[in-house]
Amino acid sequence: MSIYAAAVARYFEAWNAADADALAKAVAAAWSEDGTYTDPLADVRGHQEIAAVIRTAHEQFPGFEFKMAGDVDGNHHIARFSWELVSSADGSAPVAGSDVLTLTEDGRITSVLGFLDRLPEA
C-alpha cells in the first residue's frame, strides 16, 4: 500500500469511527498533533477540534458512512481523492466531495483542504 493510500485509509477510519474512544484514537493515528482540517464549513486545528467536526457530521447524518469515490492520487507529500457520504439504509449519497491532504514524512496528515462537490437540497 502506498503512503497515500495508507494515509487516506486512516483518514476514513477517523471519519467512520463509531464512538468517542475510537474517534480519538483514529484522529491521533491519522493527523499530526497540530494538523488542520479546512472545508467550506470548518477551519480547525488539533486533534480535539478535528474530532469535534467529525462528531458534528455524524450528528447531522446518522446512519451514514464516508466512502471513497475513485482512487487516491498522490505526489511528493500530497494526496487527493474524492468521497461520498453513503446511507447504510438505502445506499443514497446526498453529500460528496474532494479532499487534498498534505502528509508528514511518516504519512500522518498535516493539513486537509476539503471541497464539497454535492450537497443535499435545502
To the question of pTM greater than 0.75 for the whole model, the response is yes
End-to-end alpha carbon distance in the chain = 39
At 122 the pLDDT is 58
Per residue in 2-47, pLDDT (tens digit) is 999 999 999 999 999 989 999 999 999 999 999 999 999 999 999 9
At 120 the pLDDT is 84
- d(CA 34, CA 39) in angstroms, rounded, equals 17
Please state, rounded to an integer, the average pLDDT across all residues of the chain. 96
Q: Are 81 and 8 in contact (CB under 8 A)?
A: yes
Q: What is the SS3 assignment for 49-86?
A: HHHHHHHHHHHHCCCEEEEECCCCEEECCEEEEEEEEE
Q: Are 8 and 79 in contact (CB under 8 A)?
A: yes
